[in-house]
Amino acid sequence: LYRKRANTAAEELVEGVEDMQITYGEDTTQVSVATCPEDGCSANAYVDADAVANWNRVVSVRLTLFMRTPSTRVGVGGDGRIRKTFTTTIAVRNRL
Say if residues 88 and 23 touch (Cβ distance below 8 Å): no
**Ordered per-residue pLDDT tens for the chain, 96 residues:** 999 999 999 999 999 999 999 999 998 887 665 566 566 678 889 999 999 988 888 889 999 999 999 888 887 778 888 999 999 999 887 654
pLDDT of residue 8: 92
